[in-house]
Amino acid sequence: MSIISALSYLLIACGLFFFTAGTVGLLRFPDVFSRLHALTKADNLGLGLVVFGAILRQSELTVILKLILIWLLVLIASATTCYLVAESARRNPDVKESRNDAV
Amino acid sequence: MLFDWLSFDLLLAIALIALAVAALRARDLFKGIVIFMLFGLLVAIAWVRVHAPDLALAEAAIGSGITGALFLGALSRIERKKKSTAPARLENPVGGSTSGAWTVLLTIVLTVQLALAVLRGWGYSDGLADEALSRIDESGVINPVTAVILNFRAYDTLLEIGVLLLAALGVYAIGEGPTVRNLQRTSRSEVLETFVHLLTPMIVLTAGYLVWVGYKEPGGAFQAGALLGGAGVVLLLSGRELPVHAARPGVRIVLGGGFLVFLLAGLAVMQDRAFLEYPRASAKYIILIIELACTVSIGAILTVLFAGCANLLTTPSEEEGT
């Protein structure tokens, strides 16, 4: 196994760790805001690491650019939806209540 | 290695069944819809796993995205109506009760029938796949899926576009009025505006790419149209007024254009061949023109469907109530 390949596995594993952490945060944190915090922070980083790990396994430039584009789009989308959800929760206090029966 | 993939597929299959059950049994309709959208995304992955990327794209865009938006739109409409009468929480009609039991029974019977039908036909025939693949160079395109949908089986697709058009007409027929209500004026914000400004051109670009690439790779009018419909939904949700007034001639042309162009293309070749039997030399261009027209129409129709089911097609006087 080459160093590049090993590095890619390591990055993807780290990414999955952050995804798991974000999901645990979503399930365990008490209210909308801290859940959002866990999800958006951890998942963006997790996806970044997974994308970077996937890039190391690619040789075609177009595929690499597409992967980076996917990451950027998800970053923008998740930042925006995070803001929208938080804003809506701030406006409607009843949504803020903890709903641990969520899933 | 084989075990790895098997275990992934097994997990996927179990997750699909679990999500389907959860979507049906969710007491809260909102939860049910979210689970349904998640289900759609996993179905898309399942299509990828069986090497059907065209279907995966369509499922992700239409099955999960647009259908989810339609459900959420309908739910918001129901809740707005309920709010004026009773504050009771909406309950999923399928979960529990005798009607639920009947649904389950019916589903099991249908599933068993379907399984029996598949098993009986096993080994008899490989379907028309070989036939289609062997004559693919007559179709004018390289992607076999596009060849079947837009050429060999074009009549089906024409009728599908027709059904979509009828659905949009239905929305206008039962909708209360012509103008689009400006949704969520209060929650307009810089963040959302910037997002929409950034996203909309990219969606249009991607839709154009999907149509263009459809002749040789996965893509095509339905996937691209679903993306445009998604753009329409985003624009409506961000509070923009889209000109979907049915009395405007432009709107009628955009909605009906795909069906019309398809129909005219089918008729135009009828001088010396059958309906929709394109001449080999110009098939590629005919298909491209049909697909472009259908993409625009599908996008517009899906936008109208969303506007209709979210009750955004109301008259100005009705706005006061909400």
List CB contacts (< 8 A) between A83 and chain B: 189, 191-192
SS3 A49: helix
Structure confidence by residue, pLDDT tens digits, A20-41: 999 998 888 888 888 888 888 8
CA distance B51 to A61: 24
CA distance B47 to B29: 27
B175 in the same domain as B56: no
Structure confidence by residue, pLDDT tens digits, A27-78: 888 888 888 888 888 888 999 999 999 999 888 899 999 999 999 999 998 9
Pull the structure tokens for residue B262.
Answer: 């398809």
Could you tell me if A34 lies within 8 Å of chain B, comparing CB atoms?
no
Q: Closest chain B residue to A90 measured between Cα atoms?
A: B187
List CB contacts (< 8 A) between B191 and chain A: 80, 83-84
B291 in the same domain as B161: yes
The verdict on residue B126 lying in a domain is no
* B59 CB-contact burial (10 Å; exposed 0-12 / middle 13-18 / buried 19+): buried
Q: Interface of chain B against chain A, CB under 8 Å? A: 31, 187, 189, 191-192, 195, 198-199, 202
The string of DSSP letters for B239-292 reads TPPP---TTSHHHHHHHHHHHHHHHHHHHHGGGTS-TT---TTTHHHHHHHHHH
Decide if B36 contacts B74 (C-beta within 8 A): no
pLDDT at B35: 94
Q: What band does B75 get if pLDDT is binned at 50, 70 and 90?
A: confident
B186 in the same domain as B269: yes
Q: What band does B177 get if pLDDT is binned at 50, 70 and 90?
A: very low
| Structure-model confidence comparison of residues B97 and B167, the more confident one | B167
The residue behind tokens 């309906």 is B275
For B23, the domain range is 1-92
Lowest mean pLDDT, pick from B95-104, B108-117, B158-167: B95-104
Q: Is the pLDDT of residue B10 over 60?
A: yes
pLDDT at B92: 55
ipTM of the complex: 0.77
Q: In chain B, pLDDT over 70 holds for what percent of residues?
A: 84
The verdict on residue B133 lying in a domain is no
Q: Is the pLDDT of residue B178 over 80?
A: no
CA distance B99 to B97: 6
Number of domains in chain B: 2
The verdict on residue B103 lying in a domain is no
Q: What band does B91 get if pLDDT is binned at 50, 70 and 90?
A: low
B169 in the same domain as B73: no
Mean pLDDT of B262-282: 87
| Structure-model confidence comparison of residues B261 and B88, the more confident one | B261
B287 in the same domain as B155: yes
Structure confidence by residue, pLDDT tens digits, B195-214: 899 899 999 999 999 999 98
Mean pLDDT of B71-77: 84
B156 in the same domain as B57: no
pLDDT at B63: 83
B318 in the same domain as B171: yes
CA distance B251 to A58: 45
Mean pLDDT of B150-168: 91
B6 in the same domain as B150: no
Decide if B231 contacts B200 (C-beta within 8 A): yes
SS3 B243: coil
pLDDT at B176: 54
B161 in the same domain as B27: no
Burial B188-227 (b: 16+ CB within 10 A, else e): ebeebeebbeebbeebeebbeebbbbbbeebbbbbbbbbb
The verdict on residue B223 lying in a domain is yes
Please give the C-alpha separations between residue B186 and each of A34, A62, B237, B238, in angstroms, as whole numbers. 25, 41, 12, 10
B158 in the same domain as B16: no
SS3 B28: strand
* A17 CB-contact burial (10 Å; exposed 0-12 / middle 13-18 / buried 19+): middle
B319 in the same domain as B175: yes
The verdict on residue B120 lying in a domain is no
Q: What band does B127 get if pLDDT is binned at 50, 70 and 90?
A: confident
Indicate which of A72, A80, A82, A99 best probes the interface with B, i.e. most B CBs within 10 Å of its own CB: A80
CA angle centred on B158, ends B217 and B45, rounded to 5°: 40
Widest Cα–Cα separation across chain B: 65
Lowest mean pLDDT, pick from B9-13, B102-106, B309-313: B309-313
Q: In chain B, pLDDT over 90 holds for what percent of residues?
A: 33
How many other CB atoms are there within 10 angstroms of residue B70's CB atom? 20
State the nearest Cα–Cα gap between B198 and chain A, in angstroms: 9
Q: Do B187 and A73 touch (CB under 8 A)?
A: no
B77 in the same domain as B194: no
Q: Which of A76, A83, A84 sits opposite B198 (nearest CB)?
A: A76
List CB contacts (< 8 A) between A78 and chain B: none
Structure confidence by residue, pLDDT tens digits, B214-254: 888 888 888 999 999 999 988 888 877 777 777 778 888 99
The verdict on residue B110 lying in a domain is no
**Mean pLDDT of all residues belonging to chain B:** 82
> Which residue, B23, B57, B92, sits at the end of a domain?
B92
Lowest mean pLDDT, pick from A2-6, B59-63, B173-177: B173-177
The verdict on residue B124 lying in a domain is no
The verdict on residue B115 lying in a domain is no
Q: Do A88 and B187 touch (CB under 8 A)?
A: yes
pLDDT at B31: 92
Structure confidence by residue, pLDDT tens digits, B27-58: 888 999 999 999 999 999 999 998 888 889 88
pLDDT at B113: 93
